Amino acid sequence: MAVPGIKVSTKLTATDLFWWRVDEPQNPMVINILVEFEGVLTPAAVRDALEAAVAENIRLHGVPTSRFADTAGTWGLLAGCLTVLATGSQWYWKPIPHFSLEEHIRLHVLEERSEDCLRRFVDEEISHQLPKDRAQWRGIVIHNTPGSGSRALFRFHHVIADGAGLGQWFYGLCQVHGPPTGDSPHEVPEKQAWVGRHPSTLSAHPPPKRTAVQRLRKVAARVRDVVDFLLLEVLLVVYSALKLLFLSRDSNSPFKGPNTGRKKTGTTLHSLDLPVEAVKALGKGYDRDITVNDVLCTLLAGAFRRFFQRHLLHPEQMSMRVAVPINMRSSIRPPITMDNRFSLVFKSLPIHLPTVQERLASFHVRMGLMKMSIEPRLGLLLMYFLAWMPERVLARVIEHFTLCTSAVLTNVMSSRIKLSFAGQPMDNMCFWVPTSGDIGLGISVCTYCDRINLGLVVDENLLADVKPLLADVVAEWDDMQRQLSAQGAAHPSSVIPAHTQEMIEANQQYGKPGHSR
């Protein structure tokens, strides 16, 4: 059965391979999704809903396999390139003999009907890797959960697909349950056509013919412009690459340290009501250009600032950098390909700025510069390169970015209408993003039915309980609303920090920023 809106990539790409190789016991590279159902879900119903879709999808009944054992770790980049040229791909999806869907879907009954018991079970499950010799996903139907319905925990290794690909595949298996609450979740504005500075006009008299010298000068001018553009691009690539490879170390904080693999999770599912429209309204109250992502990242920056102050640290003297996935697909309209097509950029949360207005302004401007920069393309190129590097080189690069980064922050937009899966309506959902190396904190933003849920996962060695941090998120949201109502709107450009203003002026002068950190 072909899933509507999705095309399955049967090749194991370089970006797929990168996420397969960075999977480690202390940080399983697995996307964990928790779905809350209105009624009682059964494993048999889940198997029936998935059977046909899994059978025709090699990524769900196969396992990544190298044509030559340990080639990537021993021969390195040269052997990988030669093998790709000779065979088309060094790694491929190998079908699992005698694949059984029943082995990948099971039932678990909680010992007691409580959120704490559910959280302990989820923490235990997501702390383990998936077996390397089996299909890289699991489905666990959970009964005796709080409320009248069931929960389901789905675990997908990142090698299968990124959040956009997995989401589109899963929603293609669902049915519409409730009336629409807004536009289509995949509806994006059409790209505006480029319009010249001056409108074209019709002249009654044809323009005079240019002489050979004039034509030659015009061609020379165009060649000079092209050379200048290419030279600028080369300089930007070199500059951005150096900035990426020589990122400064992040500040020491409770979120920095070795990982043990024992995970602690938390969500705002039942502690904070965040309607999309309310978040939009708060941002527009400060400035019309502020986006939902700007507000959410400012909310997180304020929450971490509170957390550090409560631990007697000085956030105004600290930096907290996060790795942010960027979708590299040309369009998010279905159908999209089920694989990994995203890059990583590194952004500092503005925890050092004291007011909401300053944090909003700083993050809004820097993200705007990032969208115009070459950072995403450079990050994607780096992943392609590292996919074929020897293990020691890969480990050193991952260690470098671990020292420079405190967390992974991702945002996935899901359906804006209520859906049902396997015959049961889905009331809510959240997910937890995986991290790599010794990055021990993952922050996930999931939007379902126009409600925003934040998910936090942290290594137990760094933070034994995420509830205080979630309480800081709730307190910061309340404070942001109070500040807006008390102080009124304030245009971000009036409070943009000096170093951010310098980046804006450089962008206006040269047309494209080299970096936006």
pLDDT tens digits, residue range 273-284?
899 999 999 988
What's the pTM? Answer: 0.83
Token pair 């290794």 is found at 157
The number of beta carbons lying within 10 Å of the beta carbon of residue 251 is 19
pLDDT of residue 508: 45
pLDDT of residue 428: 93
Helix (H) or strand (E) holding 264: strand 263-267
Structure tokens at 47: 């198997």
pLDDT of residue 377: 86
Least confident among 62-76, 202-216, 327-341: 202-216
Q: How far is it, in rounded angstroms, from Cα 223 to Cα 125?
A: 60
pLDDT tens digits, residue range 422-481?
999 999 999 999 999 899 999 999 999 999 999 999 999 999 999 999 999 999 999 998
- Could you please report the per-residue DSSP string of 133-170? TS-SEEEEEEES-SSSS-EEEEEEETTT--HHHHHHHH
pLDDT tens digits, residue range 328-374?
887 777 788 899 999 998 999 999 999 998 999 889 988 887 777 78
Least confident among 13-17, 87-91, 128-132, 451-455: 87-91
Three-state SS at 299 = helix
Three-state SS at 88 = coil
Please name every residue paired with 453 in a beta bridge, in sequence order, or none if there are none. 446
- Show the domains of the chain with their CATH numbers: 6-176 (3.30.559.10), 248-414+439-510 (3.30.559)
The number of beta carbons lying within 10 Å of the beta carbon of residue 32 is 24
Percentage of the residues of the chain whose pLDDT score is greater than 90: 53
Tell me the angle at which helices 467-487 and 276-286 cross, rounded to the nearest 10 degrees. 50
pLDDT tens digits, residue range 123-150?
999 999 999 999 999 999 999 999 889 9
Work out the pLDDT band at 501, boundaries 50, 70, 90. low
pLDDT tens digits, residue range 230-278?
776 677 677 777 777 778 899 999 999 999 999 999 999 888 989 999 9
pLDDT of residue 194: 29
- Could you please report the per-residue DSSP string of 430-494? EEE----TT--EEEEEEEETTEEEEEEEEETTT-S-SHHHHHHHHHHHHHHHHHHHHH----GGG
